[in-house]
Amino acid sequence: MKGLSYVQKTAIPYLILLALSLASIAITTSTFFDQFVLTNLEKELISETILAAESLENNPFLTEIDAEAKHLAEITGNRVTIIMADGTVIGESDRSALGMDNHLLRPEVQSAIHGKPEPFIRLSLTMHQRYIYVAAPIYSKQAMIGVVRLARSLESYDATIEKFRGVLILTASISLLIAIIFMILQTSKRFNPLRKISEAIFTSSEGELKTIADKSRHDEIGLLISSHNAQAERINLQIQNLRNERTKLSAILFNMTDGVILVNGQGVVTMINPSAQKLFQTNFQAEKDNTLIEVVRQHQIVDLWQLTLQSGKTQNITIQTSMEKDNVQVIGSLLGPILPGEVLLLFQDLTLLRKLETVRKDFISNISHELRTPLASLKALTETLQNGAINDPKVSGRFLSQMDEEIDNLAQIVTEILELSKIESGKVPLTKKLCTIDELVTRPVERMRMQAERAGINLDSVLDKNLPKIEVDIVRIQQVFVNLIHNAIKFTSPGGTIKVSAALKNQTVQFSIADSGIGIPPTDLKRIFERFYKTDPSRSSSGTGLGLSISKHIIEAHGGEIWVESTLGMGSTFTFSIPIVKTENIFRKP
Ligand code: ADP
């Protein structure tokens, strides 16, 4: 029964019961029929034997007895044997009585002698057939003179019974067959919904259970279907939720800037996110069973993993993974009961952060330095005035104008810092307008001409003819011109020249401010546009070091570029380009 289906297990006991019932009905019917026919046969034979015995009472000397036996056999249709009281066979209908053995001890003869004719069934050794025997006493004047025995062959009786049994077996078999077919049809119909439920469970797509559409049933199976559907919907919802969670988690892992590596108790990497792959320049695949050392190729990390595993506590170290990534913090933590034996390694690239930190420190130290110089000279001037110089009108006048200059200097520094911070924050909008190159350049050049003349420098501008109009924030671009011309004046000796020019090149207008000044050392050329950067401080007594940085931001906000070419002692040329095509109207965040 083990390997059978539920349908078979249910149907087979009923079929066995039915087969047993049919068999017992067949046996009972057959036995009853057998008994019934045999009893009738026996009764009939007893009556016929008694009648035969009575008919022989008229023949007290039992003469012509063979003829008598044959006559009786003809009338009754049985075999007739006439036996003397001592057992000698004297008459026989079916053969000669001569030579037949003594019949006294035959049970039917004995029962006749005792006055009780009873039927006996046995195989006749003479006739080789089954016979039913009945014998009755023959009387003459109240004395028994012999016995008449009638025997009827059971051949036709046996054939009838055999036939009857055959019909019974056939009927029972056909009934059983019909019952089997009916049962198969009925049970498969009844159990079809169960099959559908198991199919729905086993043929689930991507883990989701199918629901069953049949809602017409209101019996126990209907109840099972509706509870299956409710269960399936609940499970599907949970699967969906889990899938969403998993997608969210993978998206987080995938997009995390920090590297994540999961290592099992055997040191095999079971998960790695793209940031970690990038950090260790590996295209690791989890199914390859790579060990941690194969993936990261750094013993320090393997040591950290082992320490985390042994101590069960969070551990961290700082390492260098490549030339550029020299400040990577590794944090190892044991995942504990969630994933026993697994260690999560988190890699935080702090290189940029540390660089920004350095920039910030530099900025503060620069700013302090820039502020300290004017403040120190203000302090010295104030103290000198307090110590009596205030009483000397000549000296005090000079000191006050020096103090005024220092205050201007301080104000300039603060203004430029604020300006740069505003521009760097990306919040200052550009107010762009279409203007001619002439309109853009003439004004700042004219503004600076007085200053140049005072310094004994010749300032000139040469603009190409037919230059297109460009769309710029005029005030800001003019501020760049002022910054660059101002620097050129500062670093050019009297008698020198400054030339401002504009020309069309590669869909841009290129502006140049070339001076014949002291020039910039090649080592400083790269850093000149950094905040607060100044070449040899002794050469640039005045200035904050912010002018070029501000100019660079303004030009880049217009989609352009700024660069410098310089030869020490010969002069410098600052060039910037503005594209002719339209650009965004806002400073982009650096
Ligand atoms: P500053 O306010 O000090 O001029 P800038 O950012 O405008 O600040 O300039 C930074 C430094 O670049 C200057 O201190 C100077 O050393 C150098 N520099 C700028 N322009 C010139 C130039 N035309 N010739 C020589 N050196 C220059």
Q: Is 562 in the pocket of ligand 1 (CB under 6 A)?
A: no
- Is 589 a residue whose pLDDT tops 50? no
Provide mean pLDDT across the span 400-406. 89
Name the band, by pLDDT with cuts 50, 70 and 90, for residue 194: confident
**Cα of 534 to ligand 1 centre, how many Å?**
6
Q: Vertex 206, ends 202 and 209: CA angle to 5°?
A: 45
Name the band, by pLDDT with cuts 50, 70 and 90, for residue 439: very high
Tokens of 246: 């998993």
Q: Which atom of ligand 1 is nearest to the CA of 535?
A: 16
Q: What's the CA gap between 183 and 188, in Å, rounded?
A: 8
Helices of type H across 330-392: 351-386
Provide mean pLDDT across the span 374-386. 89
As a whole number of Å, the CA-based R_g of the chain is 65
Q: Is 575 in the pocket of ligand 1 (CB under 6 A)?
A: no
Of all helices (H) and strands (E), which one includes residue 15? helix 6-55
**Selection from 115, 78, 81 nearest residue 98 by Cα:** 81
**Cα of 520 to ligand 1 centre, how many Å?**
9
Q: 197-221 as b/e, with b when 16 or more CB fall inside 10 Å?
A: beebeeeeeeeebbebeeeeeeeeb
Q: Which atom of ligand 1 is nearest to the CA of 492?
A: 24
Least confident of 332-336, 420-424, 478-482, 521-525: 420-424
Other beta carbons within 10 Å of 232: 19
**Cα of 538 to ligand 1 centre, how many Å?**
12
Q: What is the pLDDT of residue 61?
A: 64
* All structural domains of the chain with their residue ranges: 9-159, 210-250, 256-349, 354-425, 433-579
CA 271 to chain centre: 16
**Cα of 486 to ligand 1 centre, how many Å?**
9
**Selection from 499, 511, 501 nearest residue 575 by Cα:** 511
Provide mean pLDDT across the span 461-484. 92
Q: What's the CA gap between 459 and 362, in Å, rounded?
A: 36
- Is 498 a residue whose pLDDT tops 90? yes
Name the band, by pLDDT with cuts 50, 70 and 90, for residue 590: very low
Q: What is the pLDDT of residue 60?
A: 64
Residue of 480, 487, 500 with the most ligand 1 atoms within 8 Å of its CB, for mutation: 487
Q: Is 523 exposed, middle or buried (0-12, 13-18, 19+ CB in 10 A)?
A: exposed
Q: Is 403 exposed, middle or buried (0-12, 13-18, 19+ CB in 10 A)?
A: middle
φ/ψ (deg, to 5) at 335: -80, -10
Q: Is 528 in the pocket of ligand 1 (CB under 6 A)?
A: yes
Q: What percent of the chain clears pLDDT 90, i.e. is strictly above it?
A: 35
**Whether the domain at 354-425 and the domain at 433-579 fall into the same CATH topology:** no
Other beta carbons within 10 Å of 153: 17
Q: Is 540 in the pocket of ligand 1 (CB under 6 A)?
A: yes
In this structure, CATH architecture of domain 9-159: 2-Layer Sandwich (3.30)
Q: Which atom of ligand 1 is nearest to the CA of 545?
A: 8
Q: What's the CA gap between 215 and 229, in Å, rounded?
A: 10
Q: Say which residue, 231 or 369, is predicted with more confidence.
A: 231
Q: What's the CA gap between 68 and 74, in Å, rounded?
A: 10
Residue linked to tokens 């007290």: 60
Provide mean pLDDT across the span 499-524. 94
Least confident of 114-128, 168-182, 214-228: 214-228
- 354-425 CATH pick, 3.40.50.1860, 1.10.260.30, 1.10.287.130, 3.30.70.1230: 1.10.287.130
Name the band, by pLDDT with cuts 50, 70 and 90, for residue 586: very low
Task: Calculate the average pLDDT of the chain.
Answer: 86
- Is 265 a residue whose pLDDT tops 70? yes
Residue linked to tokens 């469970």: 201
Q: What percent of the chain clears pLDDT 70, i.e. is strictly above it?
A: 94
**Cα of 587 to ligand 1 centre, how many Å?**
23
Q: Is 517 in the pocket of ligand 1 (CB under 6 A)?
A: yes
- Is CATH 3.40.309.10 the right assignment for the domain spanning 256-349? no
Sheet with 269-272, edge to edge strand ranges: 269-272, 259-263, 343-349, 328-334, 315-319
Nearest protein CA to atom 13 of ligand 1, as residue: 534
Sort strands 269-272 and 315-319 into parallel, antiparallel or unpaired: unpaired
Q: Is 547 in the pocket of ligand 1 (CB under 6 A)?
A: yes
In this structure, CATH architecture of domain 433-579: 2-Layer Sandwich (3.30)
**Cα of 510 to ligand 1 centre, how many Å?**
20
Our CA dihedral for 155, 159, 165, 169, rounded to 10 degrees, sits at 140
**Cα of 359 to ligand 1 centre, how many Å?**
20
- Is 323 a residue whose pLDDT tops 80? no
Nearest protein CA to atom 23 of ligand 1, as residue: 488
Q: Is 17 exposed, middle or buried (0-12, 13-18, 19+ CB in 10 A)?
A: exposed
Q: Is 554 in the pocket of ligand 1 (CB under 6 A)?
A: no
Q: What's the CA gap between 28 and 84, in Å, rounded?
A: 42
Of all helices (H) and strands (E), which one includes residue 463? strand 458-463
Q: What's the CA gap between 112 and 75, in Å, rounded?
A: 21
Name the band, by pLDDT with cuts 50, 70 and 90, for residue 483: very high
Provide mean pLDDT across the span 206-216. 74
Which tens digit of pLDDT belongs to each residue from 5-64? Answer: 766 777 788 888 888 998 898 889 888 988 898 899 999 999 999 998 888 887 766 667
- Is 204 a residue whose pLDDT tops 70? no
Residue of 414, 527, 548, 553 with the most ligand 1 atoms within 8 Å of its CB, for mutation: 548
Q: What's the CA gap between 214 and 310, in Å, rounded?
A: 58
3-state secondary structure of 417: helix
Least confident of 107-111, 209-213, 253-257: 209-213
**Cα of 305 to ligand 1 centre, how many Å?**
52
Q: What's the CA gap between 94 and 79, in Å, rounded?
A: 6
Nearest protein CA to atom 25 of ligand 1, as residue: 519
Least confident of 3-12, 463-472, 474-483: 3-12
CB within 8 Å of 123: residues ≥ 6 apart: 129, 130, 131
Other beta carbons within 10 Å of 567: 11
- Is 236 a residue whose pLDDT tops 80? yes
Which tens digit of pLDDT belongs to each residue from 156-184? Answer: 888 888 898 899 889 888 988 998 888 88
Provide mean pLDDT across the span 553-578. 94
Where in 200-268 does DSSP place strands (E)?
A: 259-263
Provide mean pLDDT across the span 195-221. 74
Q: What is the pLDDT of residue 81?
A: 92
Q: Is 92 in the pocket of ligand 1 (CB under 6 A)?
A: no
Tokens of 137: 């006493």
Provide mean pLDDT across the span 71-80. 89
φ/ψ (deg, to 5) at 93: -80, -35
Residue linked to tokens 């057939």: 129
Least confident of 21-25, 122-126, 235-239, 278-282: 122-126
Q: Is 548 in the pocket of ligand 1 (CB under 6 A)?
A: yes
